[in-house]
Structure 1
Amino acid sequence: MTVNDDSFTNWKHREETAESMIPMIGKLHREQDVTILLHSRSLVNKSVVSILKTHRFARQIAGAELSVTETMPFLRALTALDLGPSQIDIGMLAATYRTDDRGLSVEEFTAEAVAGATGANKIDRREGRDVVLYGFGRIGRLVARLLIEKAGSGNGLRLRAIVVRGGGEQDLVKRASLLRRDSVHGQFQGTITVDEDNSTILANGNAIKVIYADDPAQVDYTAYGIKDAILIDNTGKWRDREGLSKHLRPGIDKVVLTAPGKGDVPNIVHGVNHDTIKPDERILSCASCTTNAIVPPLKAMEDEYGVLRGHVETVHSFTNDQNLLDNYHKSDRRGRSAPLNMVITETGAASAVAKALPDLKARITGSSIRVPVPDVSIAILNLQLAREASREEVVDHLREVSLTSPLKRQIDFIGAPDAVSSDFIGSRHASIVDAGALKVDGDNAILYLWYDNEFGYSCQVVRVVQHVSGVEYPTYPAPAV
């Protein structure tokens, strides 16, 4: 048999293994509210090839390829356990098992590693929590996709309604079409139908009421059977507590803003300060996409090396706030054509760091350049450290943070030498450390952080909503602290 034959036979075997994983992953998700991850990447509703590619990607961060033949025994062991709602990372199970020298079987090791989610320790399945989207633009539609995707067993977040300003003829059909197809993020994964008589979009069986209103005061959500809901404001029209309080109508319990909050509105970056949210807090902000991109790696560097000062320069994709062609705009420079120019503008991300990391004493400055790409940005974080370090030390530290720390859902890591912005469309992490571009000289470190400013940010928003709703389930094995 030739080498080619050996390779093809091996591929077919791995294909078969991945294929047999799919019903196990699906059943755990539907029946027990268990989400199977591989190095923080969900394997729920993934195809055979997607599962294999996710395993292969592990070599970028762990340094060695991970095979489905290695993770399959752990998945099989999980199906035999009395599991409660949780997220379980079979990549981490396989990695930690390799270094365990106690001679335990896979079944014994797995049962011990996820003991907090089994038997008397498991948490109860939560009642579904209603969610309302106020505004249905770029972030609103991506958050909708994520909420529909995560509906799963029906015990999590339930997208009940979308509030938009009244449109013209075929308004509902056009909005459904924008949810169905996206020029950047591709096709919606599932089916979408429109019930115009009831002003409802049906997406993968989820009935989403479309409510037309020009002002929050016009809506009584209880009239639609909505109760105790979390409203996500995607318009950015109101940024302070007074303005956002307009949403606290009958049926709405909390308001989450997808833009930087002003005044005393808490700015939350999931993974960094989400645990500071007070149970009785009814209004909060998810800060900006750039804040979410820089704060987790900034915390990782502060915790390990100390940070004396820093500057962030974000090279940001253009947004709907800019003009397609030169025209009047209330802000400087943003009136110039977005697809034709690099546009210097401001970013509030640097000043927002203080809200998310109040213990960080370093002064952080920032600016932004909008560039002619529709999605994915890169933040260049230039830091003066409290002690000297080597490039290899910083690379290893950030790789380890992306694999095993509590920030592993926020920070991703890539060592590919030819990575470019379009490679990160659809990334679910807040930022991705580009190891090849990273520079260290004594106490100066320059981090290059890619981020999908649309989808990655939307994932962070949903994580915050899951947290405040009580449907954010624990992850096993527990991340290293």
Structure 2
Amino acid sequence: MKLAINGFGRIGRAILRQILTTPRGAGIELVCINDIAPLDMCAYLFQYDSTFGPYPDAVAIEGNNLRIADRVIRFHQTADLSTLDLTGVDVVLECTGIARTSDVAGRGLTAGARKVLISGPSPAAERTIVLGANEADLGDGAIISNASCTTNGLAPLVKLLDMLLGIDSAHMTTIHCYTNSQPMVDAPRGDFARSRAGALSMVPTTTSATHLIDEVLPHLAGRISGAAVRVPTASVSAVDLVVRTSHPMAADFADTTLRTAIEASQVLGWTEQPLVSSDLRARAESLVLAGPETRRIGDHQLRVFGWYDNEWGFSARMLDMAALMAGQS
């Protein structure tokens, strides 16, 4: 599978680490990386990562190439991807965060690539697909959105619970680490609360998962609400979901039926350990359910809690989705 990465920020760099260091990278030819930042800065930020630690092999610059150990990767620095020749590329991993219009999102196709996968919600996408939830709807779309990290954690869990018990209604709160959309010190933003220093306060806000879940699982549209609290940690977030079920639960539902179904999932995980957020760093699952935090309240109400590395897990799904789009999964 031939890939190109457009945008070498948090997700682009995590994707490259996984290509180079995990089994997901087997059989992947990374044709090029494109980012408008200086190459020496991109190399530095890849080599020294505040979240995932220093890269274990040598990182160097050779002309317009990035050399990592014995692997040489062509590096471009154009603001318009359509000016490159990407003939033969199966999927462009569009990680710039600016692919909001069909013109920008389609530049990879104009450059000659077969398909484009956007690393976030985008109105320019033909479909929004979440592995474990609606990948059967992928079809032959050329521009696909991989939704959001929270939606990747929530949607497979919601689909599973709906299959097992039916969902009358639910509310999700994501306890989310701060991101680059928040200021380090108080500074004006579109949202008053999110204008406050991200590393100093817990900040109640909205989440895109609220509307994306309706798009990904339309038969549940209007039944699931959601909110977010941004917290002063740098990585790993959580989903806290309370569900009102259509059918009654057995007393041991969580320990038997739910756990068995989750452990059989390709994107969900389960732990019985009393973990904290830092323990889940660099976990590749979309969501890891915390068994000790599961609560059954009567026959029809269930509380589940799960962790997700919002960068590493989402980047793993980008590679999994790219393989599916390229017909190699």
Short-chain TM bin: over 0.9
Task: Provide the secondary structure at the position in 1 that maps to 2:174.
Answer: strand
In structure 2, the CA distance between the partners of 1:216 and 1:152, relative to structure 1 (3 Å rule), is closer
Structure 2 contact 18–25 (Cα < 8 Å) conserved: no
Task: Provide the secondary structure at the position in 1 that maps to 2:179.
Answer: coil
Corresponding residue for residue 81 of structure 2: 216
Corresponding residue for residue 384 of structure 1: 244
Distance in 2 between residues matched to 1:360 and 1:257, nearest whole Å: 24
Q: What count of residue pairs does the alignment treat as equivalent?
A: 328
In structure 2, the CA distance between the partners of 1:261 and 1:327, relative to structure 1 (3 Å rule), is same
In structure 2, the CA distance between the partners of 1:369 and 1:215, relative to structure 1 (3 Å rule), is same
Residue 132 of structure 1: CA displacement? Answer: 1.2
Deviations 1:357-407 (A, max 9, x none): 233356111111100000111111111100221452123222212322xxx
Task: Provide the secondary structure at the position in 2 that maps to 1:334.
Answer: helix
Residue 263 of structure 1: CA displacement? Answer: 6.1
Which of 83, 95, 109 is equivalent to 1:234? 95
Which of 283, 297, 319 is equivalent to 2:179? 319
Corresponding residue for residue 321 of structure 2: 464
Structure 1 contact 148–159 (Cα < 8 Å) conserved: no
Q: Give the RMSD, CA atoms, in angstroms.
A: 2.0
TM-score by length of 2: 0.93
Distance in 2 between residues matched to 1:153 and 1:314, nearest whole Å: 30
Distance in 1 between residues matched to 2:296 and 2:249, nearest whole Å: 7
Distance in 2 between residues matched to 1:177 and 1:242, nearest whole Å: 31
Corresponding residue for residue 135 of structure 1: 7
1:428 aligns to 2:284 (yes or no): yes
Which of 144, 153, 159 is equivalent to 2:30? 159
Corresponding residue for residue 40 of structure 2: 173
Distance in 2 between residues matched to 1:421 and 1:185, nearest whole Å: 14
Percent of aligned pairs sharing the same letter = 25
Distance in 2 between residues matched to 1:179 and 1:238, nearest whole Å: 23
Give structure 1 stretches of 5+ with no counterpart.
1-128, 473-481
TM-score by length of 1: 0.65
Deviations 1:285-305 (A, max 9, x none): 000000001111111111110
Which of 109, 115, 119 is equivalent to 1:254? 115
Residue 468 of structure 1: CA displacement? Answer: 0.9
Distance in 2 between residues matched to 1:309 and 1:201, nearest whole Å: 50
Deviations 1:108-164 (A, max 9, x none): xxxxxxxxxxxxxxxxxxxxx22111111111100111122358896x221121111
Pair member with larger Rg: 1
In structure 2, the CA distance between the partners of 1:313 and 1:144, relative to structure 1 (3 Å rule), is same
Distance in 2 between residues matched to 1:366 and 1:202, nearest whole Å: 43
Distance in 1 between residues matched to 2:43 and 2:125, nearest whole Å: 36
1:397 aligns to 2:257 (yes or no): yes
In structure 2, the CA distance between the partners of 1:365 and 1:151, relative to structure 1 (3 Å rule), is closer
Corresponding residue for residue 372 of structure 1: 232
Structure 2 contact 91–116 (Cα < 8 Å) conserved: yes
Task: Provide the secondary structure at the position in 2 that maps to 1:221.
Answer: coil
Task: Provide the secondary structure at the position in 1 that maps to 2:255.
Answer: helix
Corresponding residue for residue 343 of structure 1: 203
Structure 2 contact 8–33 (Cα < 8 Å) conserved: yes
Deviations 1:290-349 (A, max 9, x none): 000111111111111000111111110000111000112233322210000111111110
Distance in 2 between residues matched to 1:150 and 1:451, nearest whole Å: 18
Letter in 2 for 1:210: F
Higher strand share: 2
Task: Provide the secondary structure at the position in 2 that maps to 1:383.
Answer: strand
Distance in 2 between residues matched to 1:324 and 1:362, nearest whole Å: 35
Distance in 1 between residues matched to 2:100 and 2:250, nearest whole Å: 42
Give runs of aligned pairs for residues 41-120 of structure 1, distance below 5 A.
none
Distance in 1 between residues matched to 2:89 and 2:314, nearest whole Å: 25
